Amino acid sequence: MPGDFAIGIHDLSVATTQYVLTHDTLAAHNGTDAAKYHRGIGQRSMSVAAADEDIVTMAATAAAPLVARHGGDRIRTIVFATETSVDQAKAAGIHVHSLLGLPSATRVVELKQACYGGTAGLQFAVGLVHRDPSQQVLVIASDVSKYELDSPGEATQGAAAVAMLVGAEPALVRIEDPSGMFTADIMDFWRPNYRTTALVDGHESISAYLQAVEGVWKDYAERDGRTLDEFSAFCYHQPFTKMAHKAHRHLLRHCGYDADEGEIARAVGRTTAYNAEVGNSYTASMYLGLAALLDHADDLTGQTVGFLSYGSGSVAEFFAGTVVPGYRAHLRSAAHRDAIGRRQDIDYAKYREIHEYSFPADGKDHPVPRETTGPYRLAGLSGHKRIYEPR
């Protein structure tokens, strides 16, 4: 039977794409001031997937270092969270399972609830480990965000994957009870099956997010969670990085605190470094914020981090995690910086070509040109089947 042991994030790894479009380039195309993006929404560039990259290749790239370090024998479950799935039936994690050569005695499932899905995966993983502490769960959040060209949402696009190994006695972050939760039926952001790009009501989405901030904190406080001043930092879902500042300002005011800009920057500033360069990665976004915090902060040993996960539509959750002593020896800071720094700058014409491309739906053979320099690639489609391979 389960005993008294900590459960949480044992290891964490980040991956993104081959290409990057800077917001300077986007602003030049739009004829607008780049400050609209840099200061207005806090974005400097966006990751753009090459033709042979997608949520599967990013996920496998993020997860491979975890398997290389820890082995795969204890991984009994893969939870793949995404809102940009490549198939309506088959879980994308099965492709990752194959690419990584994990044991057949594994359950694999895909979760969807907008940008909240990664947190659902993490919490499900905590429950599985609590039931059987000998097992580990591979939680992957991977998305490519895409909006219509020249739409208000275009500047917030991005792509990334975060893979987390969840287990007993974690080396990075111990996940705590309780959670505060909130759900409301709101059409602030959605993507019908017949569309490749999402629809969003920007003002409604911000309002829904802030409503969820109040809702999750109310539930968290009623369940005897920590007080606000017990947290040293906060990781928020970041559809754009300034949203983290806006959300924390709202939480402070809601709780009767002075919304001092210096305090807001102290609480969330270190979580935005990667998102500002990568753009919105949907399910991966909040965990990309955690990676940035762990990689950029001074010593966080023993300090408590607040996590506020929001997914449009809408579902949200707030929970706490405490950073484990010795965590810095397990970080992948250099690899994360390299993943972002190695991206190839593209011009607007190349970006537009990528954005407008879609696979023919005729079921014939459609090989994909070799573009990525990452370890895994989408080789093509044949008979409506996606074919993945090591590069």
Same domain, 48 and 125: yes
pLDDT at 1: 38
Instruction: Characterize the bridge pairing of strands 376-382 and 385-390.
Output: antiparallel
Which residue in 10, 23, 53, 83 is the catalytic one?
Answer: 83
Same domain, 152 and 35: yes
Give the Cα separation of 283 and 116 in Å (integer): 6
Same domain, 299 and 363: no
Which residue in 10, 237, 245, 336 is the catalytic one?
Answer: 237
Taking 70 as the pLDDT cut, the residues of the chain under it are 1-3
Give the Cα separation of 331 and 291 in Å (integer): 9
Tell me, yes or no, whether 2 lies in a domain.
Answer: no
- CA proximity to 212, closest of 247, 245, 178: 247
Residue 345 lies in domain: 7-173+331-390
Tell me, yes or no, whether 88 lies in a domain.
Answer: yes
The number of distinct structural domains making up the chain is 2
pLDDT at 3: 60
Q: What is the pLDDT of residues 106-130, one digit of tens each?
A: 999 999 999 999 999 999 999 999 9
- Alpha carbon distances (Å) from 58 to 22, 95, 351: 20, 12, 18
CATH of the domain at 234: 3.40.47.10
Q: What is the pLDDT of residues 157-172, one digit of tens each?
A: 999 999 999 999 999 9
Same domain, 43 and 138: yes
Q: In the 8-state DSSP scheme, what is residue 311? A: E
Which residue in 53, 95, 110, 115 is the catalytic one?
Answer: 115
Global pTM exceeds 0.85: yes
235 catalytic residue (yes or no): no
pLDDT at 4: 84
Same domain, 191 and 165: no
Same domain, 382 and 243: no
Q: In sequence order, what DSSP letters do the residues of 131-166 get, joined into one string?
A: H-TT-EEEEEEEEEE---TTSTTGGG-EEEEEEEEE
Q: Where are the beta strands (DSSP E) in 169-312?
A: 173-175, 180-183, 189-190, 199-200, 233-236, 304-311
Tell me, yes or no, whether 61 lies in a domain.
Answer: yes
Same domain, 190 and 265: yes
**Residue 15's beta-bridge partner residues?**
161
The position carrying tokens 């696979």 is 359
Mean pLDDT of the chain: 97
Same domain, 161 and 188: no
At which of 284, 311, 326 does a domain end?
Answer: 326
